[in-house]
Amino acid sequence: MLDIQPEYPSKRDFWIVALIWIGAAMMVFAAFDQFTSAAPLVLRATMLGVFLGAAAFMLWILYSCNYVLSADLLLINCGPIRYRVPLAEISLVRPSRSPLSSPACSLDRLLIEWQEGKRRILISPESKAEFLRELDRRCPQLRWQGDRLVSDTAN
């Protein structure tokens, strides 16, 4: 049987998008400003590459952040960053507004714990309700407890 792997893009808070775009624009401006300076050509070309690369990297992270549910894994993608969370090991999924660094473009997040609470990650699927329903369907060890999914074996 072919398993459909739904993909959930990250929700993007306006202020995070604005900050990243402002930062990327500043990098592009700095790159061309540096390139027109009197510095040696090798230095100017290097700085142009560094600044434009940084701007591209910031936008890559912003627009590639997504979450895929496979038959047995939650795949988290954010630019070059990749996480693989075994669905069978998830013990808790709950809402969070933690500002800690994570592969999420919004503060409207879900905290996911696995490996008996030893590992945690924050994600921000655009459609949290749909994501949670599908996660519930794929994780028989999880049960609804209010607004969270909790493992049968969790204390």
pLDDT at 152: 82
Amino acid 4: pLDDT: 75
- What is the reported pLDDT for 1? 47
Where do the domains of the chain lie? 14-63, 66-151
Residues 55-89 have pLDDT tens digits of 999 999 999 999 999 999 999 999 999 999 999 99
What would the pLDDT profile of 118-148 be if each residue is shown by its tens digit? 999 999 999 999 999 999 999 999 999 999 9
CA distance to 56, 61, 138, per residue, from 47 (Å): 14, 21, 48
Percent of the chain whose pLDDT exceeds 90: 87
**Buried (b) or exposed (e) across 66-87, using 16+ Cβ within 10 A?**
bbebeeebbebbbeeeebebeb
Looking at residue 36, its pLDDT comes to: 86
Token pair in block for residue 75: 């795949």
Rounded to the nearest integer, the mean pLDDT of the chain is: 93
The CATH number, out of the four listed (2.30.29.30, 2.30.30.90, 2.60.40.10, 3.20.20.450), of the domain defined by the range 66-151: 2.30.29.30
pLDDT of residue 35: 82
In the 8-state DSSP scheme, what is residue 87? G
